[in-house]
Amino acid sequence: MSNVTLNVQGMSCGHCVKAIEGSVGQLDGINEVKVNLSEAQVEIVYNESKVSLEKVKETIEDQGYEVE
């Protein structure tokens, strides 16, 4: 299990939190996803053998946010 914190731009409100936590949380291999609005960060705990970090980033970008 790996723990990564991504810097994500454009998250501004509770809807954004739900959009990201919901979509990333649905991916197979994600054990935990937590958005920190004030820090503009998304923290994930995931299983590297099931899901790639690239896939997580794509999922966040698909919701309309920019992963740095």
Give the nearest distance from C-beta 45 to a second copy in angstroms.
25
CA separation, residue 67 to residues 23, 31, 40 (Å): 15, 20, 10
Give the nearest distance from C-beta 13 to a second copy in angstroms.
5
Task: Identify any residues that bridge with 38 across adjacent strands, giving them in sequence order.
Answer: none
> What DSSP state is assigned to residue 47?
-
Nearer to a second copy, 18 or 50 (CB): 18
Q: Site residues for a second copy, window 5-64 (CB under 8 A)?
A: 10, 12-16, 19, 64
Element (H or E) spanning 6, and its range? strand 2-9
Which positions touch a second copy (CB under 8 A)? 10, 12-16, 19, 64
